[in-house]
Structure 1
Amino acid sequence: MAKAKCHKCEEKCGKGKVHPEILEKLEIGFKNFYKSGSKSLLKKYLTREVFDKLKTKKTSFDSSLLDCVQSGFANPDSNVGIYAADPECYTIFADIFDPIIQDYHLGFKNPTYNQLRIMGKYYPLSEMTPDEQQKLVDDHLLFKEGDRFLQAANSCRYWPNGRGIFYNDDKTFLVWVNEEDHLRIISLQQGGNLGEVYKRFVTALIELEKKIPFIKSERLGNLTFCPTNLGTAIRASIHVRLPKLAANMTRFEELADKFNLQVRGTRGEHSEAEGGIYDVSNKRRLGLTEFNAIKEMYEGVTELIKQERAA
């Protein structure tokens, strides 16, 4: 009788008939290994519970746990003691590979949703109370109804229907729905760790693009409602207190132009600065990479801070 072999399923779950001889070798090897004085990472993390869970699994390439640990069993003086016999081993035998990887690479973890903490909930604007909306606005998390410019462009029709906000528990990842563009994807946090902010942003964007196709042009890049956001469509901004520079707005704006920066009020475009705090961002989005856009903002803001301190 012919039997079909599901490689996709096997790759996902690792279920497959492991030869009895391999199982026997695994059992003997495991017992002898634990009698040895090995101080390897394999010895540290291959508990009986993990061993029993993995010993009957194999990849679609027919690699078993034995293929991964046989060197470690034979060489108890190894520092690590495990090898990936094929690419699927990192998935099928993740229960042993992951802790070893994390230990060796000093806490490295895969950037899963929960680890990056971008899981959250969507809140329709039409179901929020005025107080709830105002609290989010005051925390610089929620948009208000469009100003006269957007209203004149018919961007605010049927407000607040069809509008809302998604945010995670930490309020470090947001998605504005139908504010100006269909989606505005935001990653933010206190402090100056731009790398962490950008990593969260990119990871979320990659996942979104798997489900939602974004409109792009070969000539103009990402297409947006406002032409100032074309290209990368990325606006990297920092809230920074610059009261001395703001005392001479002409000089302030000249410096901003010099470093291709856009200076806005505390609550964004067409708002006033509160307590000398300005929203400073990259002005250019078209004709450069996302990395260079962020780099341009970072270097420009660094120079503004130097000028503020020297003033």
Structure 2
Amino acid sequence: PASDFGDVDSFANVDPTGEFVVSTRVRCGRSMEGYPFNPCLTEAQYKEMESKVSTTLSGLEGELKGKFFPLTGMDKAVQQQLIDDHFLFKEGDRFLQAANACRFWPSGRGIYHNDNKTFLVWCNEEDHLRIISMQMGGDLGQVYRRLVTAVNDIEKRIPFSHHDRLGFLTFCPTNLGTTIRASVHIKVPKLAKDMAKLESIADKYNLQVRGTRGEHSEAEGGIYDISNKRRMGLTEFQ
């Protein structure tokens, strides 16, 4: 179906008492029109894309206003701050390395975040763009609204690759379609002791369970990363 973010005001706080949800995050991936996926990019293309992204993001205003940090030549203090904030992405894991998606590292890679540290863009990590909205607590509505505003703003300046049947094109096929992953870090200490039950509940609602630090990680203190599994054949709002 065509892209449809729906009524952005229809989402509320999923945990108003703050008892279970530690934080909420919604992200999407985008590929820039006219450029191949990472394994086929030249170093010149990487640099050109980073320049376009940096210029575009520096034009964001209001809540989205922030700063772009290129990975090339990044000083140690900035690097440490981004690590402390859990914003800095590392050179790809063995899967991305095997796919040849880490060429010319760190050329053409960068990170943007707003002043409040609730909005983040990764440039040329796995996808050309990873657009992320997040904050502590369970206010999904606020997080989703911020993401939609940002995506619409960026799309006015950078054309994205879209396919009528496959949706928005991404490097990893599991993200094709809406590319949206809406996730919460949630405390479920009792369910943590019964993984089979947690997995069966997640399957019933088309949800994916990951460890506290995301893919290929363990749960810490009964806190899991739980997100939507489906991205193909439905709209962003669905």
Normalization by structure 1: what TM-score? Answer: 0.54
Task: Give runs of aligned pairs for residues 155-304 of structure 1, distance below 5 A.
Answer: 155-292=101-238
Matched, 1:142 2:88: yes
CA radius of gyration, larger in: 1
SS of the residue corresponding to residue 116 of structure 2 reads coil
Equivalent residue of 1:127, what SS? Answer: coil
What corresponds to 1:36 in structure 2? none
Question: 1:213: Cα distance to partner?
Answer: 0.8
- Superposed, which structure 2 residues align to 1:33-52 within 5 Å? none
Of structures 1 and 2, the one scoring higher in RCO (CA 8 A, sep 6+) is 2
Partner of 1:123: 69
Structure with greater strand share of residues: 2
Give, in angstroms, the shift of residue 273 of structure 1: 2.1
| Structure 1 contact 120–169 (Cα < 8 Å) conserved | yes
Question: Between Structure 1 and Structure 2, how many residues are aligned?
Answer: 179
Distance in 2 (alpha carbons) for counterparts of 1:236 and 1:138: 23
Q: Equivalent residues in 2 for 1:4-153 (5 A)? A: 114-115=61-62, 117-129=63-75, 132-153=78-99
Whole-angstrom distance in 2 between the partners of 1:181 and 1:189: 22
Q: Provide the C-alpha distance between the structure 1 equivalents of 2:155 and 2:81, rounded to a whole number of angstroms.
A: 31
The structure-2 alpha-carbon separation of the partners of 1:273 and 1:144, relative to structure 1 and needing over 3 Å to count, comes to farther
Q: Deviations over 1:81-105 (max 9, x none)?
A: xxxxxxxxxxxxxxxxxxxxxxxxx
1:279-301 deviation per Cα after TM superposition (whole angstroms, max 9, x unaligned): 11100011111111xxxxxxxxx
Give the Cα–Cα distance (whole angstroms) in 1 for the partners of residues 189 and 84 of structure 2: 21
Judged with a 3 Å threshold, the aligned counterparts in structure 2 of structure 1 residues 248 and 181 are, in CA distance, closer, same or farther, namely same
Contact 1:137–1:144 (8 Å) recurs in 2: no
Deviation at 1:175, TM superposition (A): 0.4
For 2:71 and 2:190, locate their aligned partners in 1 and report how far apart those are by CA, in whole Å.
38
Counterpart residue identity of residue 93, structure 2: D
Residue 135 of structure 2 aligns to a residue whose secondary structure is: coil
Distance in 2 separating the partners of 1:235 and 1:211: 23
**TM-score normalized by the length of structure 2:** 0.70
The Cα shift of 1:135 comes to 4.1
The structure with more helix, counted as a fraction of residues: 1
Q: Give the AA of the match of 1:121.
A: K
Partner Cα distance (1:196, 1:217) in 2: 29
Once the two structures are aligned, what percentage of the paired residues are identical? 69
Equivalent position SS for 1:236: strand
Q: For 1:64-117, what per-residue CA distance to the aligned partner results, in whole angstroms no more than 9, with x for missing partners?
A: xxxxxxxxxxxxxxxxxxxxxxxxxxxxxxxxxxxxxxxxxxxxxxxxx644x1
Amino acid at match of 2:145: K
Name the CA shift for 1:253/1:190 in 2 (closer, same or farther; >3 Å).
Answer: same
Distance 1:219 1:124, change over 3 A: same
CA distance in structure 2 between the aligned counterparts of 1:138 and 1:265, rounded to whole angstroms: 19
Deviations 1:197-223 (A, max 9, x none): 111111111111111111111001001
Change (3 A) 1:228 1:134: farther
Distance 1:272 1:132 in 2: 28
Runs of 5+ in structure 2 lacking a partner?
A: 1-59
